[in-house]
Amino acid sequence: MITTANAREQIGFIGLGLMGHGIAKNIVEKGYPLTFLGRKNRAPAEDMIARGATEVSTPGDVAAHSTIVFLCVTSSREVEAIVRGPDGLKTGLKPGSVVVDCSTSDPDSTIALAAELSTIGVDLVDAPLGRTPKEAWAGTLDTMVGASDAIFARLTPVFDTWAGRVVHIGATGDGHRMKLLNNFLSLGYAALYSEALALAQKVGISPDRFDSIIRDSRMDCGFYQTFMKWTLEGDRDAHKFTIANALKDLTYLESMADAVGVANPLGNAAKNSFAGLAATGGADQYIPMLATHIGRINGVDLTPPEKHESDGA
C-alpha cells in the first residue's frame, strides 16, 4: 500500500517476460506510477498501457522517469547491456535512485555493477525470484533481497505489491548467491526425478505407479508436484522455466563454487543433464520435459501419452 513516505517513488520496469509482466501489473494495480521499456512482444506492453503505465523506447528513458528501476531479464549479460549500453540506464539515472535486479545473475557481475553505479550515487539491489509466472501474476512470489538495511526498508512497500514472501538475505550480491543455491536444489531435484523416472520405466514401473509412492510421502514437495504435471498429465505450462535458463543458472553456480574452491560434482552432473537437452535443440523447452529427454536417451518413452502425436518434446 502506498503511504505518504513512499508516494514520491516513480517505478521503472525493464523485462515484461513470463515473470516480469505479472510483477509490473501488480505494481501498477497497487497504485504506483510505472514507466516501462517497450518490446517486440506487444501483448504485455499493450496490457500495461491499458492499465495506465507509460511506455518509452530506451533504458535511459526509463531511468530518467524513475526513482526505482526493476530489471527482470535473462542473465547478467542482458543486465550489463541495459546498464552500460548506448542509451543505457547510466545515461538517465539520478543520484539517489535504486536499480533492483530481479534476474538470476552472476554475483560477481552484480558486485561489479554495484561498485560502478555507486560512483554516480545509485544503489544496486539484487532481488531474484522464487516460484513461477502463476505466482507472479497473483502477486505472491518469493524474493531474496541483497541490500543495505536502509535501502531494503525503502523498497519493502514496493516488494509487497508483488511478493508474498520477502526475505532480506544480506548485502548486495547475497540475493544472487542465495538464488543460485536455491536453483541448485530445485534443478538438482529435476535431474534426479528425470533419471529416477527413466530407471523406473526401464524396470517396469510406470510414472503413475512411481508417483503413487512419492506423492504424499516425505519425498513429496511443491516442486515435485509441478515437475510431474508434464509426465503424468502433459501439462507443458505447469512450470514455465526453460532448459536454457536452467543451464545458465547451473553454469553460474559452477563459477561461484570455483571462485571459492568448493568442489561441486553434483551441480556439474545436474548441469550436464540440462546441457544434453539444450544441445539437441531443447533449449526452449521447460524443465519438466527433461524427463522425456532422459528417458529417450535411455531407450524408454516418458512422453505423456496424449502428446505422442502432437508434441515433439
Alpha-carbon torsion angle 143, 27, 67, 59, nearest 10: 90
Catalytic residues: 179
CB 18 within 8 A of CB 44: no
Please, which residues bridge with residue 135 across strands? none
Measured in degrees and rounded to the nearest 5, phi and psi for residue 273 equal -60, -45
Find where cell 512419492 sits. Answer: 214
- Grid cell listed for 7: 508516494
- Grid cell listed for 166: 520477502
- Grid cell listed for 129: 525470484
CA–CA separation, 115 and 107 (whole Å): 12
Q: CA of 55: how far to CAs of 44, 47, 67, 119, 159, in Å?
A: 11, 11, 16, 28, 21
CA–CA separation, 198 and 251 (whole Å): 25
154 Cβ neighbours under 8 A, 6+ residues apart = 6, 98
The Cα angle at residue 52 between residues 67 and 241, in degrees rounded to 5: 75
3-class DSSP state for residue 257? helix
